[in-house]
């Protein structure tokens, strides 16, 4: 079985306990405007163009059969609507300015890569993390990868936005040691505005996992001026009170790392004018939770 992946990151320290290997899958049902991996949203491979690496040799122009690569004022541009992602331009690019994001990768190859570092996992409590994108958007692949990982004695984590069918969570639950579960916006209308979907199914799945004994770390991205109002902070507080056995609750301060990534794939980044979270923001958030006796970690 193969799945559409865009990165396998070894020695990760930010995707769960210990030293981990994180497998990033493309495809996501949400279109979060602050997404720091915008290249993960599409359900197909994409061309990425890093203009800072371009040496203007224009070899890509010569080999592109659809004229997606263009020259204007001796500079290189890409017409994303014309690109058919054959990869010919990538092969012709000597500077590494072009690459294809997304490749069909089989389960056995991923497992063979992951188990190379099993000694480190055993010493540090690490293992395999499946992230994205949304891993459950490629459900059968994710399930097969989890089953194989458990057969090799690996600790498994699924990093999820929670937007999937409840039966899918039910099926993978026996093979997942920990869920990193996103909680983005409390107000449903605002959730739809900034992510494209309602939060109703997400909250139902959080409730299902919690009540079926899943180990969960709740992750809450906070974006200054967007979702860090008191209504959402209160929503996080209410989740903490409702589910006291959550493993932990982590605040994920916004950074605009996704802006440049979005530009490289011809995607509009709607948060360009939003500033990164600052110390004063973090202090205000943590003061709120401390005052309300909520144990929260700010990453």
Q: What pLDDT, in 10s, does the model give residues 109-126? A: 999 999 999 999 999 999
Q: Give SS3 for 277.
A: coil
Q: What is the pTM of this model?
A: 0.94
| pLDDT computed for residue 1 by the predictor | 87
CB 141 within 8 A of CB 3: yes
270-275 contacts, C-beta under 8 A, 24 or more apart: 270/33, 271/33, 271/34, 271/223, 271/226, 274/34, 274/223, 274/224, 274/225, 274/226, 275/224, 275/225
Written as six digits, the tokens of 162 are: 């929670």
Would you kindly state where each structural domain of the chain is located, as residue ranges? 2-43+102-298, 46-101
In this structure, whether the domain defined by 2-43+102-298 belongs to CATH 3.40.250.10 is answered with no
Which parts of the chain have pLDDT scores under 50? none
Separation of alpha carbons 53 and 159, rounded Å: 32
From residue 11, give the alpha-carbon distance in Å to each of 54, 113, 117, 196, 257. 30, 12, 8, 33, 20
The contacts of residue 203 (CB under 8 Å, 6+ apart) are 162
CATH number of 46-101: 3.30.70.20
Any idea which residue has 């495809």 for tokens? 27
CB 124 within 8 A of CB 20: no
Say whether 46-101 and 2-43+102-298 share the same fold: no
Written as six digits, the tokens of 125 are: 């409590």
| pLDDT computed for residue 74 by the predictor | 85
CA angle 141, 142, 145 (to 5 degrees): 85
The whole-angstrom distance between residue 3's C-alpha and the CA centroid of its chain comes to: 16
Name the CA radius of gyration of the chain, rounded: 20
CB 298 within 8 A of CB 286: yes
């Amino acid at each position: 079985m193969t799945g559409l992946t865009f990165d396998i990151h070894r020695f990760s320290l930010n995707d769960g306990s210990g030293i981990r290997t994180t497998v990033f899958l493309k495809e996501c049902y949400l279109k979060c405007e602050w997404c720091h991996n915008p290249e993960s949203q599409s359900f197909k491979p994409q061309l990425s163009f890093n203009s800072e690496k371009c040496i203007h040799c224009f070899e890509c122009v010569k080999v592109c059969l659809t004229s997606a690569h263009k020259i204007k004022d001796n500079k290189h541009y890409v017409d994303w609507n014309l690109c058919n992602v054959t990869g010919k331009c990538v092969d012709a690019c000597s500077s590494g300015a072009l690459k294809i994001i997304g490749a069909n990768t089989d389960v056995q190859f991923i497992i063979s890569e992951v188990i190379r570092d099993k000694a480190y996992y055993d010493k540090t409590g690490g293992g395999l993390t499946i992230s994205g994108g949304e891993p459950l958007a490629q459900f059968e692949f994710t399930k097969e990868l989890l089953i194989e990982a458990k057969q090799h004695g690996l600790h498994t984590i699924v990093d999820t936005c929670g937007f999937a069918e409840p039966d899918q969570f039910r099926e993978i639950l026996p093979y997942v040691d920990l869920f990193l579960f996103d909680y983005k916006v409390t107000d449903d209308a605002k959730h739809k505005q900034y992510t494209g979907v309602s939060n109703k199914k997400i909250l139902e799945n959080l409730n299902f996992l919690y009540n079926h004994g899943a180990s969960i770390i709740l992750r809450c991205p906070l974006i200054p001026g967007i979702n860090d109002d008191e209504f959402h902070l209160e929503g996080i507080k209410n989740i903490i009170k409702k589910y006291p056995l959550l493993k932990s609750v982590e605040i994920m301060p916004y950074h605009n790392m996704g802006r440049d990534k979005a530009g490289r794939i011809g995607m509009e980044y709607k948060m360009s004018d939003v500033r990164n979270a600052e110390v004063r923001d973090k202090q205000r958030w943590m003061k709120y939770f401390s005052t309300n006796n909520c144990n929260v970690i700010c990453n």
